[in-house]
Amino acid sequence: SWEDFDAKKYKKTYDIAFASMTATVRSAAAVKKMETVAKDYCIVVSWAGKRQNSFNQEIYKIFGIRDKAPDFIGEISAILKKRKIKYKKFLIDDSWSFEGTAKEAANQILPHLQINGVEIPLNKLEKIILEKFGTRKIHHITFAGKGIIIWKP
């Protein structure tokens, strides 16, 4: 794991340290690890605080979950600002659609529920989705913010 990774063994070994779509790089210690291994640049592509999906919001309501999009790019920006490190940040609007059965929709949202502490068997979640949406085909679109942040170590 990243927490167990000994960055000092690879000090300035790589031209670029790159992380993509991971929650691992969001603390000052993790940022410093990236800087330890990189000669020239550190680059992170990750979530940037925006996620809208009406299907997910309806399911979250059932379980009392507040829908909050992660903002790892914002967290990294704050860490770098605090250390007075210059960086470039690019924000990107993204979207993707889903169409599938209630079981496929349940499979898709189950990890999000589990991250929020909800443990529910897949077949029970599928039944809730069928009762709520009354259809065998589920359609939804996710609108999300992503970002790229680049800095010199």
Written as six digits, the tokens of 105 are 């929709």
Tell me what the mean pLDDT of segment 35-63 comes to.
96
H helices within 1-153, ranges in order? 28-37, 54-63, 72-82, 102-115, 122-133
Strand partners, 90: 148
Question: What is the pTM for the complete model shown?
Answer: 0.84
Asked whether the predicted pLDDT for residue 115 surpasses 90, the reply is no
Percent of the chain whose predicted confidence (pLDDT) is above 70: 100
Q: Tell me what pLDDT residue 65 has.
A: 93
- Tens of pLDDT, residue by residue over 75-84, are 999 999 999 9
Strand partners, 14: 38
Q: Tell me what pLDDT residue 116 has.
A: 87
Tell me what the mean pLDDT of segment 106-117 comes to.
92
Q: Tell me what pLDDT residue 46 has.
A: 96
CB 51 within 8 A of CB 69: yes
CB 153 within 8 A of CB 7: no
Give the residue, 145 or 3, on which the prediction is more confident. Answer: 145
Q: Tell me what pLDDT residue 2 has.
A: 82
Measure Cα distances from 142 to 42, 70, 99 in Å. Answer: 28, 14, 12
